[in-house]
Amino acid sequence: MDNDTIDQIIDRHEGRAGSLIHVLMEIQSKNHWIPREALAKVSQKLGVPFTRVMQIATFYKTFSLTPQGHHEVHVCTGTSCHIRGSQRVLDKIQSLLGIRAGETDSNSKFSLAKGNCLGCCTLGPEIVVDGRHYARMTPEKAEEVLKKYN
């Protein structure tokens, strides 16, 4: 992801203050996070005060203002998955990636997050990588899954 792509997204919505959330979502999905310079540019091009952009960008959990990895790994720690051993899956993934939940590894490859129920309790313990669900995880299977993204 480079600045040109961000510029293109912003230019497409130039002058339309109402598109603020759309622009932010587009940058977020393409770039995985929104740099402060991008927020400043959005504010300038869309004609929305910077404080307002900051308020909205920090309000929604969708937007990340810190660098995120290319692959987003979510581990379900909801009740059902917890009972089926999601903690061991999480421990394994944490030691494989060398990061804890909520962190991003140093070469921006993976971000790890916990979620309290990712929606498929019958298939637990589950993990979600880049929106794709992997069911009935064990520490060994989780390792196999992560290898695919390496």
Cα distances (angstroms) measured from residue 45 to each of 16, 30, 62 = 8, 19, 22
Which lies closer to another protein via its Cβ, residue 18 or residue 59?
59
User: What is the closest distance, in whole angstroms, from the C-beta atom of residue 51 to another protein in the complex?
Assistant: 3
d(CA 44, CA 12): 14
CB of 27 to another protein, least distance (A): 18
Task: Give the total of residues touching another protein (CB under 8 A).
Answer: 10
Q: Say if CB 116 and CB 77 are below 8 A apart.
A: yes
Q: Mask of contacts with another protein, 39-68, x by CB under 8 A?
A: -x--------xxxx-xx--xxx--------
Restricting to residues 67-126, name those near another protein by CB under 8 A: none
User: Would you put residue 17 in left (φ > 0), alpha (ψ -120 to 50) or beta?
Assistant: alpha
The residues binding another protein (CB under 8 A) are 40, 49-52, 54-55, 58-60
